[in-house]
Amino acid sequence: MSYEYKVVPAPLRGIKAKGLKTPEDRFAHALETAMNTLARDGWEYLRADTLPSEQREGLMSKTTVYQNMLVFRRTKTGTAAMTRKPEPSVAKPVPAITKEQPAEPPKMLEDGSRETGPAAD
């Protein structure tokens, strides 16, 4: 079976709703709403991960912050679900080794441009 995945940021704040008075209840409601919205489109909740993310701080420095992410999956449907056989790798032709002298790189002229014609002596 083949899956496709969707990763979304977890809610940062709760959502106000009738009868929800504590911050924990509001946050749980926000999480539930996000999960149910994706479930309507066929996404199955898989797990929550906390992952590091490097961000700029000022002009020159960087800092690491941690992001809470929700991971969902669903089975692939239609032609995308068909497993594709790996295409055979085709080796690139190797150039034949000759005993000729390698060509000299173009010479630089006084104005900074490169010589384009045959090498002048």
- What pTM does this model have? 0.59
Give 21-30 pLDDT, tens digit per residue.
Answer: 999 999 999 9
Percentage of the chain lying above the pLDDT 90 cut: 59
Residue 41 lies in a domain: yes
Domain membership flag for residue 12: yes
The reply to whether 53 falls in a domain is yes
Structural domains counted in the chain: 1
Tell me the per-residue pLDDT of 76-105, one tens digit each, with 9 for 90 and over. 986 544 555 556 566 566 555 555 555 566
Q: Determine, yes or no, domain membership for 44.
A: yes
Does the residue 102 lie in any domain? no
For every residue of 11-57, DSSP letters joined together read PSS----TT--SHHHHHHHHHHHHHHHHHHTTPEEEEEEEEEEEEEE
Residue 15 lies in a domain: yes
Range of the domain at 50: 3-77
Whether residue 67 lies inside any domain: the answer is yes
pLDDT tens-digit map of 29-39: 999 999 999 99
How far apart are the C-alpha atoms of 73 and 67, rounded to whole Å?
19
pLDDT of residue 59: 87
Kindly state whether residue 115 falls inside one of the protein's structural domains.
no
State the average pLDDT for the chain.
Answer: 81
State percent of the chain over pLDDT 70.
64
